[in-house]
Each structure stands twice: as structure tokens, then as C-alpha cells.
Amino acid sequence: MSVLVLAEHDNATIKPSTLNTVTAALELGGEVVALVAGHNCKAAAEAAAKVKDVSKVLHADDAAFGAHIAENVAPLVAKLAQGHSHVLAPASTYGKNIMPRAAALLDVAQISDIAGIESADTFVRPIYAGNALATVQSKDAIKAITVRTTAFDAAPAEGGSAAIESVGGTGDAGLTSFLRLEQVKSERPELTTARIVISGGRGMQAGENFKMLEEIADTLKAAVGASRAAVDAGFVPNDYQVGQTGKIVAPELYIAVGISGAIQHLAGMKDSKVIVAINKDEEAPIFQVADYGLVADLFKALPELAAELKK
Amino acid sequence: MKILVPVKRVVDANIKVRVKSDGTGVETQNVKMSMNPFCEIAVEEALRLKEAGKATEIVAVSCGPTACQETIRTALAMGADRGILVETDVPLEPLAIAKLLKAVAGKESPGLMLLGKQAIDNDCNQTGQMLAALLGWSQATFVSKLAIEADHAEATREVDGGLEVVKVKLPAIVTVDLRLNEPRYASLPNIMKAKKKPIDVLKPDALGVDVTPRVAVLKVVEPPKRSSGVKVPDVATLVAKLRTEAKVI
């Protein structure tokens, strides 16, 4: 048995999601081979080779892979997956975009967003926004899987010394080209890997009020997130969204401010270790999952919280 | 240009699902069913493209049991021109649906297919990408902005790092995200009109597609419940508890 892991990276470094995916791969047993497909991505391949217990790194360097275009990367994944029992990618937008395309090329089903491994062919995954957990068994020869990163610890980024093997690309399919990435630069930790997350919802009333959350985030070294309502209202960009269709987070501490707690939002954060809810509506469903609930007007509570945390 | 819009019948987004006591799945009998919200956004986008003169015909396609006709009728009431039902009682996985849709695309030759990025029942997020692979078409997933030009489309994708803009060659598969548009409600006259619009019924066998499931669902259970916490009277108490009791700050 051997597991091919599609490594998520930015050509220079590997993303933390890759480390969680390696842990899931190791749990399956057998050899773990990481595929780093990119352009001028030698540094990322070297980083992947250092991950503990990765046996081999396949390094595919081609201009066609630079922007992770699925039409170009998926045929390579499908080609290299032959001979492996499993092919895994993180269930990030990167993995979700590429893996189903590769699975279809292999004519195998994909098991999306696994949160548990029962055996080499049996997995647990959330359905209905996490309101049910399904145990499913794959009958395909090659199991194509995306991994819920919050459900698996990160593998140590150091301690490995895997051999790096260059593999040829499958070229540019000539279908899609990357134009640009509009990115909001932030000095704060990344939402999906932050130890503490503070999120705002519709109750924040305006984008500028998120400054109150940012101030607290800076004190706590936390990431700032949001509910769908806050993103739809244009308070904050899309990459802040936590929920069923946004990012899944499971930090040590999640502080929900002015968020009512729709099931779609709970789906993205209810595996957090400690949940704090601040909401003026004491009937808000968010209180049903909160370890500590504070019924208060957030515009009064947030300045107090900022001051108290600095004490 | 013809646009094909696959639509899925799912448990209504506002229903809190209940897991069946025998662990075989979730209760769908006597539960309100609706069009998957992401599919509604796909239908809306197709209609707007037609209204803008970029598309000539909108065909709504659904795969599943006879009841999926209701979902197609919803799309027709919103403004789609006609419907196709690929009828089967076999539980369909994304790969099987992608194969059925490929066969339908072969008959219809659309210039664009718009799909929801995921269905809110199984949360798979696969069908569009698989369909694109099988057709050998370009794909733009998680799209929040779409501009159709003569032979290509420019799509803005919601990705983890922000917004990615790509240029895709047509014909293409586009899977839509929440912020692409706000779907319209069907008016009563349009609901009446939709009853007269045609729905063709096809069978997987006739399309030459094997829909046998590849994945067995062994059991479905409720997730572990979080034990309910405590209400704190004020901010000072909250911070004290986080420091000394939960020890997370």
C-alpha cells in the first residue's frame, strides 16, 4: 500500500494543510509519497522532503503548473496515482478544485472531506453541514480522498529526509489561464491554522466595526473570521468566511461576536476546543454550542474585552 | 449559446435534518424538499445571461427519482425554457451524475454549463469538476463573478487566499458560489406558465451510463453533542474563566 499526497504549496513553501494531509496518509499505513507540482517550486519540494515520515517527493516543475490550474494538474495527478492505493489532497479550495477532476480521469469516486479513518477503505465524513456523520466504504481500486485538515494533527515539518525525484509534466491543456489573485494582505495568523479565532457576524453592523475585533485579535495573536451574513453584507472579504461552504476551523479558542449561529456557520467552527459567544439575543442558537456565553451588546462588551485582555 | 443548468433536489436548507434511528441515513420522508440553494444561483446566472443577450436557451437538467420533476419545475418557473429529467431510483453519486450529464451534454451541445459548487446534503463539491474532466472542458469553480465573451469567460473564483481571476475557454463548466447573485422568486404567473413547459425524461440505460454506486454507506450517526456551557455575567468574569478555567489565553 502506498499513498500519494497532493501537496498544497505556493511554489516556495508548503501550506500547513499539506502537513495535516500527510498525517491522514500515515494513518492509512504504508509509504507516503508527496507530489509537489508547480513552477520553480524546488524550494517547496525540498520543504516537503523534510516533513517527517514522507518517503519520497515527486517534483513536477512546469510553467503549466505554476498557478495550480486544475486542467493542467489533474492529468498529472491521475497519471501518478496509478500504482498507489490512495491519493489524498487537503479539502481546501486547492484540493477541492483539482482532486475531483483527477478522480474522474481515473474513473473512481472521490470521498470528500474525510474527518476519520476506520480502515484502508472505510472513512468517516460529515454530511448535511456536519449534522450527521457518515461512515462510507470505497469499492474503487484507487481511493481518491480530500481531507478535512482540522480533523488531523499537522505532521512535523522537520525530521524527514525524503529523496526528491523529478517527474515529467503532462503540459498545458490550453484551456484555462490564470490572470490574477486579489489578496488581502494580513499580518495576522491564517484563519485555518490560528490558535485563536475571533469572528464577527451581522451584529457587527458595518465593516469598520471589525476594527474592534482586529484590536482584540492583535492582543491575542488571533485570526479574524466572519459569518456568511457579514461577508454577504460586504463587511469583510470572502476569505474571512467560516462555515459549511467557507473555511472549516477548529482553534483552541473561538470567539463568536454578533453571530446568531445558523447551522451553516456552526458547521465551520463547532469542533473548536473552547467556544465563546457574545450576543445580545439570549435565544441565539450560538449559545447552545458555546462553553461561555455572554449576553451583552457587543458595542459595549468589545471595548471592555479589549481593555480586560490588556490587564 | 445554449446553457445547461443541472439542478439537485435536496432537503430544504432551513430544515434541521434528523438521523434515522436505524443509522441508514437521514430522514427525508415528509420533509420539505427544495432546489439546492447553489443550483438556484446557477439558474439565476443563466437567466441573467439570457436577459443580457449572451444566451439563447436555458435547459434545466436533474438526475434522480420522478420527484425531481418538481425541482425542474422550479427552474422553469424562474424562467428556464425547458427541462430534462434523467430518471432513476438508484442513489446517484457525483461520478455517476457527471457521466449522465456528459451524455446529456453530448445530445444538447451547450456552450456553457452552470452548476452549484456543492449540494447541501452530501457536501461533496465534486460534480462540476468531474463533469469538466469527462468532457475535457475548462472549469471555473467557486465563482462569484462571471463575464462571458465570444470564445471565453472571465471568472472570479473565491479561493482560500482571496479572489482568483481566471480566463476559461468556452465551452466551460462553471460552478457557482454564494455571492454570484441573489436568485429571484418565481412569480405566480410564471409558476403557471412553467406547468406548460416541456420536460423530457431520459433513462441512464438509454444514455449508456452505468450508475452503480462505488461507495457503500455503512452507517450514519449524529455527531457528538457539545455539552452546554455556562452564561457569564460580565466581561471580567469571561476573561477570568478563559485564563484560569479554560486556560486558553
Question: Chain B interface, mutation test: which of A17, A68, A99, A101, most B Cβ atoms within 10 Å?
Answer: A101
* Contact flag B168-A288 (C-beta cutoff 8 Å): no
A-facing residues of B in 55-114 (CB < 8 A) are: 93-95, 98
* ipTM of the modeled complex: 0.96
**Which chain A residues are Cβ-neighbours of B144 within 8 angstroms?**
238
CB-CB contact of B41 with B179 (8 Å): no
Cell numbers 451510463 label which residue? Answer: B209
Q: Per residue in A17-47, pLDDT tens?
A: 999 999 999 999 999 999 999 999 999 999 9
- Write down the pLDDT at residue A185: 80
- Of the candidates A182, A166, A178, the residue with the CA atom closest to the CA atom of residue A64: A178
Cell of B8: 439537485
Rounded Cα distance between A184 and A195, Å, is: 20
- Of the candidates A300, A294, A242, A298, the residue with the CA atom closest to the CA atom of residue A272: A242
Express the helix, strand and coil content of chain A in percent, nearest 5 each. Answer: 35, 30, 35
Q: Does B138 touch chain A (CB under 8 A)?
A: yes
* Contact flag A100-B26 (C-beta cutoff 8 Å): no
Q: Per residue in B163-213, pLDDT tens?
A: 999 999 999 999 999 999 999 999 999 999 999 999 999 999 999 999 999
How far apart are the two ends of chain A, measured CA to CA in Å? 55
pTM: 0.96
A294 closest CB neighbour out of B16, B160, B235? B235
Q: Per residue in B106-156, pLDDT tens?
A: 999 999 999 999 999 999 999 999 999 999 999 999 999 999 999 999 999
A-facing residues of B in 1-40 (CB < 8 A) are: 11, 13, 16-17, 19, 26, 38
Question: Does B219 or A168 have the greater pLDDT score?
Answer: B219
- Write down the pLDDT at residue B39: 98
Handedness of CA A271, A273, A278, A279 (dihedral sign): positive
